[in-house]
Structure 1
Amino acid sequence: MTQANCGTNDGTATVNVVSGGSGTFSYLWDVPAGSQTSATAVSVLAGTYTVVVTDDVTGCTKDTTVTVTSTTGITVTANFIQDAQCNGASDGSAYPTIVGGTAPFTFSWNTAPIAQTDSILLAGAGFYTLSVTDGNGCTGSDTITINEPTAVVASIVSSTDETCLGANNGSATVGGAQGTGGYTYLWMPGGQTTANATGLAPGDYTAYVYDDNLCVDSVQVTINPGPMMTSTHTSVDVSCFNGTNGSIDVTVGGAPGAISYAWT
């Protein structure tokens, strides 16, 4: 008998006539690979098989059983999978479960460079195959998928420049899309934490948008300074003492809208 390897059908079973008979015999094996008619049955799985031996001269028959054993096959399941937390991140992982086989085991992941550990860590999104070889040379493998969420996308919805020089009343609104769950916001400089930042002085600002996984995207916006108002005037003196026919004419430039006046 030759042991089957790793639970496959490469075992053999042989019967020998040790005494009696004419010396010329026929054989009939009842094996899964089909009826075989030689002294040795080939390509058999582990199990117990019956062979009938017939003396070709006398026609006498005798049956016996032969048991074929096997080294244990190995089944690999790469489970306990942790997907990447953010789009483009390399923090995914997977751990295998091994059923059967004989220790010690060696491991090989199809990474570059090849990882030879039982688990894969710091992995980005993609397909990974784990091959395991046991102490008998039996092998098993499994392919797993590490996924990643869609990327967070930040965009400026609207912005308003300063209305006039020195007013420091600019504003901007940022929006988030994709990612996972809801969003939180941070404006820098300034540290405002709402989607709409107000009271902005002229300058450049960066808005950060975070999703529920703390994945982040950022976008920049510029608040431009408001116009500087200018004024000129002309005047006409009164013609006589205590007269009331004097006048002042004021001309205003650079105003962004309607102008109101107050005289004192």
Structure 2
Amino acid sequence: MKHLYSLVFLLFALTSSNLIMAQIIPNVTYTNDNTMTCSGTASAAPTGGAGGYTYMWSQGSTSSSISGLCAGSYFVIIQDSNQDSVSFNFTITNPCSNLTVNLSTTDCTPGNCDGTVQMTVTGGSAPYTYNWSNGAGATVQNQTNICAGTYSVICTDMNGCTTTANTTVNDPCTNFNGTFSSTPASSPAICDGSISFTPINGTAPYTYVWNIATTTQTNFNLCAGNYTVVCTDSNGCTITATGTIIDSLSTPTPISVNLTTTDDLTNNCSGSASVAPTGGSGVYSIEWSTGATTSSISNLCAGIYSVLTWSTSYPDSTTVSFVIADSSSTYNNNPYPNGTINDTLYTDLVTNCIIDYNTIDSASLYQAVYSSSSQSLYVTWAVYSPTDTVYISDTLALIGNPGYYSLTISVYCPNKSINDFFKIESVIYFDGSSVWTSTLGLDEQDLLDHVTIYPNPFNNSISVDNKDGVIQSVRLVDLNGRVISEMNQINSGLIELNQLESVSNGTYLLILSGENSYKTYKVIK
């Protein structure tokens, strides 16, 4: 009988051990965004493990169910009372996700309105309707006999799904222009000046007819005064322009422009730009890369643009290039700066498309160092993809009072489509001699949202700046929820997770916990 009791006790112990060590089964169910109004939902009903479950969803919720989900990728980490955890990844879709429109154009012949736009629709559900921006809103699929200009179309399928596409029809004469260059006359009484006209955006060869009865591109031995030329290219496009030779005793200030821009925040070609020229002499002439000649332009889609400005009474000009970004790729963690530093990159990394814009999933300010001697801010931006990280270094001027500053960089790849123009925004605090890349004096959640983590990608260690003392524990987990490294009972100062040499390459989650809040950051090795 004694042996029988022992056997029963052993079986009970083994059964209890198996129950305790049972793996957590997430049992996550979800519904797609079928109404196209972020109506997706997800719910977790885990079994196994030790019970007492807690939840951490990728959008920040800690309840067992979430709602209001738009189309996209999500995950949930479920943890039981024994600190064991499991991760579940899922994707919310909607019926509009595969509706696309491709436009192909035929440019106008010189001076004529005979351009075309052909549309190809893929995905969605036929029949489709079309609403073009030209005229009163043409509703046919293809456009014919149209003038040069920018055209936008909204395509709608039978489910109410919409997509917008934009294209430009060119006329070889539309952007035909030119600039003057000259040398001043020695004085009003000496005729030793020269003037030359350089065509822009035309097709060689060119002919020139000046108001002084000459037909050469450059004229010499001229007095101070105004000179008019009629320039014609091989397509028959003609431009009439007037330049000036001044005397060296009255040279004005070189021309410059103040440029202001607004991004395409609605992804509906809502961008704008304006210039305010200074310097030069006489009346200003302005020409944008779109062909407009006014001081302000609107209805700009995301893309690269330029503006040429010159003064009619003095042969001086300047060209400024700029980027209009779209809101879908604007990274913004800057709620309240008292200053703004904007910059646009023109480096080989972006112009040669070393960055793979098809796989970008995040971007951030990696490092910012201030030099008081040169009054320059040396910044490094990090652009992340699932397999690689590209670092972009740049130098910005920082001359101002202590305070918070919005730091913005525009990045683009000219070989890609308009949706590949984006901005990265961050925030720095300038104390007059150095910069901080995390804000000060905020509540716990704001402080956790602005923590500095480096390096990222990491190799042997990860450092976290806890100078505000808001972080009480740090946990590094993989995407399956397995804890790789953790620290508790943390004091203010620099936190270091060391001995990470053996961690495999991949993407991980760094969970920073305060007293009442937490923040999850993605880190890469």
Task: Give the structure-2-normalised TM-score.
Answer: 0.24
Larger radius of gyration: 1
Which has the bigger relative contact order, CA under 8 A and spacing at least 6? 1
Give the structure with the larger helix fraction: 2
